[in-house]
Structure 1
Amino acid sequence: MAGLRSIILRSPLCRRCFTSKVSFLRSISHAMLPKSKIFGYTLFTGFGITWYLDRNLSIYAKDLSDVNILKEADNLYTSENDPRELYNFLIKYEDSANADILWRLARSARDLALTGTDVSSDEKKALTYKAFEVAKRGLEIDDRNWGCHKWYAIVLGDVGDYEGTKIKISNAYVIKEHLEKALELNPKDATTAHCIGVWCKVFAELPWYQQKMASILFAAPPSSSYEEAIEMFQHAENIDPNFYSVNLLELGYCYKMVGDTKRAMLYLGKAAKYPSVNDEDRDAAIKADKLLAELLAQSKA
């Protein structure tokens, strides 16, 4: 930043238009600073304006750096690279105060835990808790950030897998609350609507012993229905048609469960024919084919 001061102080504009460096700096301070600040900074002339430039240019540089980090992270996320590459890139910024960086780090930690190669069970658990810690901190920094709400909810559910059914059920309302907040803040995110649909489906078919546990934990236990799940899966499709093979599969499954065979076969057929670009798509196609076979068998019975 000393170089910047030197350029300003030696500029031809300074020599040509003003009789001294002091008057030059004072004129800049009057142009750049709010009126309430001018008096104090003009008392210190050169020191004041260079301090102001140093501070604001450093903030600008930080913002610019964050933009580049986010751009690179999004490029890596949409590539076919190993998820560890994105995680290794973002973990360097785990102390960032930028909530958009933090929820992307939480997402990448979860992706690596679930789909990374050569991930041990111990590392998977550590990554899950790292994702939770980072998402929580992002939410504390900016509780109006839709991505932090979304990924906090998702990884809170993952943590429940390690802490037992009681904890998982006790977190149910918190998970749904954050998902609904994420969708409110970003109504165009289809995957958030899908996650709410999954929540509804899970509680629509909660086993009796878990229902009993829920009734102990809550005065009004969380519950839902296949119809509510269909509403959210369909909402996700309305936002972004055919965006996710699993959303099509879940729609077909839920329509099957409510006895709407025509719509069930429609969405299961779409899931079965969905372009397979990863294991999740391939698994969805296998499940869809199986459900279609069951429906065809029922229609012939």
Structure 2
Amino acid sequence: MNRVGTKLRCSYVLRHKSHLISRNVSDVHHRGQPTVTQLLRTKAGVHLTKAILGCTGVLLSASVANTVMAAENEETPAAPAPVGDSPVVVEAAATVIAEEKPDTSSSVPIEEKQEAPAPSLPEEKQETPAPTEEVPAPTGEAPTPTADAQDTSASAPAPAEAESAPVVEEVVKDDVVKKADLLYDEMKYEDIYNLLHPHAEEKNDEILWRLGRATYEKAKAAPADSQKVLYKEALGYVEAALSLNDNNFAVHKWMSILIDYVYGYEGNKARISQSYNVKHHMEKACELNPTDGTSRYLLGYWYYTIAEIPWYQRKIASLIFATPPSGTYQDALDQCLHAEKLEPNFYSKNLLMIGKCYEKLGNREEAIVYIRKVKEYLIKTADDRESVDEATQLLKKFGVV
């Protein structure tokens, strides 16, 4: 008989013979916890032992056999049968089986000494269930917040204050920019410089290009030996603005102006070498803000300057570029007329440029019309003064009062 069959048979006997066994145990059990020997001296012990021997075919030792035989000759008064199986009987049977060793001389061999491996459990039963209670984090480490904790922290006032800080900072910067623009209309360039310079290290392209513009205006009014340094300083501010925002049309506009001024101090060759770079920024400014008249004027001025280059400078340009920059008076006139259409009478130098282009193209009549406008222009800036003076000289040249 194999081990599995033995276990099944023992289970059957213990379960279905318990009503015979338990009657004779209650009197012993009533007097206290019985020992194995006491159980064996009862008829219950006899029935149990025989049942086990019948299941397993194991021979008992002599001491156990004598105890069983003595118990058979004794008479134990019957007791009322308890309901259900007696746990003491089951425990005693297990003890007997554990204490008794099988006799190797038995004719019934014990076939397998090693039990078969237990079947694998399903994957979902092998997983350790998550604890229902949270384990506190070790000292010094913040516990991972749950969803509720995150919601609570989100509603706390501290983060709200932190979020409001950048908003307040932006409002302050906007106020600085607005004040700088008002000062520019009043042509108080030194005040603009003093207002914006403390913010020079801040990463704000709107502040930086305005600081560059104010520095440029300072340079124009400064002594000749200081202008070069100030123009370079101004270019540095605008280059910083460009690194922050490549899509700001005003940054590109002032890049074109300041590159031309800075490299103009280095000589004609240096200035010509930057001609394409200057044009690129002018065209980018026009692209980003098609309604800005100043950007169109600058592009017209670039074409006029290229058209004015004498033959020896063109030779220099041919040495620097495979294809030297080219431009005509007509190109310049088209851009300046476009600027005037966008913003009529917005800049005295644009009116003057239109008159000069007409004159170069042989249309003196139209040239005089625009040059007269310049002479009558209300002077507000140094540029206006220069334009009016030049217009007056041109009219004299044309013989017009």
Q: Does 1:242 align with 2:348?
A: no
Q: Report the CA distance shift for 1:255/1:95 in structure 2 as closer, same or farther (over 3 A).
A: same
List alignment gaps of at least 5 residues for structure 2: 1-144
1:154 maps to amino acid: I
Q: Report the CA distance shift for 1:72/1:40 in structure 2 as closer, same or farther (over 3 A).
A: farther
Q: Does 1:109 align with 2:215?
A: yes
Q: What residue number does 1:72 align with?
A: 179
Q: Secondary structure of the equivalent of 2:291?
A: coil
Contact 1:200 1:224 in 2 (8 A): yes
Q: Does 1:264 align with 2:362?
A: no
1:266 maps to amino acid: V
1:270 maps to amino acid: K
- Report how far residue 134 of structure 1 moved: 0.9
Q: Does 1:127 align with 2:233?
A: no
Aligned residue pairs total 256
- Report how far residue 99 of structure 1 moved: 0.8
Of 177, 201, 208, which residue of structure 1 is paired with 2:304?
Answer: 201
1:273 maps to amino acid: E
- Please identify which structure carries the higher helix content: 1
Structure-1 separation of matches of 2:260 and 2:267: 11
Q: Report the CA distance shift for 1:45/1:197 in structure 2 as closer, same or farther (over 3 A).
A: same
Q: What residue number does 2:322 align with?
A: 219
Contact 1:41 1:49 in 2 (8 A): no
Q: Secondary structure of the equivalent of 1:243?
A: coil
Contact 1:147 1:182 in 2 (8 A): yes
Contact 1:42 1:48 in 2 (8 A): no
Structure-1 separation of matches of 2:314 and 2:361: 20
Of 199, 204, 217, which residue of structure 2 is paired with 1:93?
Answer: 199
- Report how far residue 250 of structure 1 moved: 1.0
**Paired residues for 1:10-29 under 5 Å:** none
1:137 maps to amino acid: A
Q: What residue number does 1:284 align with?
A: 387
List alignment gaps of at least 5 residues for structure 1: 1-37
Q: Secondary structure of the equivalent of 1:163?
A: coil
- Report how far residue 289 of structure 1 moved: 2.2
Structure-2 separation of matches of 1:53 and 1:196: 48
Identity %, equivalent residues? 35
**TM-score, normalization: structure 1?**
0.80
**TM-score, normalization: structure 2?**
0.61
- Report how far residue 183 of structure 1 moved: 1.1
1:106 maps to amino acid: G
Moved more, 261-270 or 158-167: 158-167
Q: What residue number does 1:61 align with?
A: 168
Q: Report the CA distance shift for 1:72/1:223 in structure 2 as closer, same or farther (over 3 A).
A: same
Structure-2 separation of matches of 1:56 and 1:39: 22
Q: What residue number does 1:169 align with?
A: 272
**Paired residues for 1:33-52 under 5 Å:** 42-43=149-150, 45-46=152-153, 49-52=156-159
Q: Does 1:210 align with 2:319?
A: no
The CA deviation string for residues 40-96 of structure 1, in whole angstroms up to 9 with x for no partner, is 683383477444313310110111111111111111111143x21111111111112
Structure-2 separation of matches of 1:40 and 1:228: 66
RMSD: 2.0
1:128 maps to amino acid: Y
Structure-2 separation of matches of 1:237 and 1:249: 11
Q: Report the CA distance shift for 1:280/1:47 in structure 2 as closer, same or farther (over 3 A).
A: closer
Structure-2 separation of matches of 1:41 and 1:146: 47
1:284 maps to amino acid: S
Structure-1 separation of matches of 2:227 and 2:234: 10
The CA deviation string for residues 146-184 of structure 1, in whole angstroms up to 9 with x for no partner, is 111111111111110232222211111011111111111
Max radius of gyration: which structure? 2
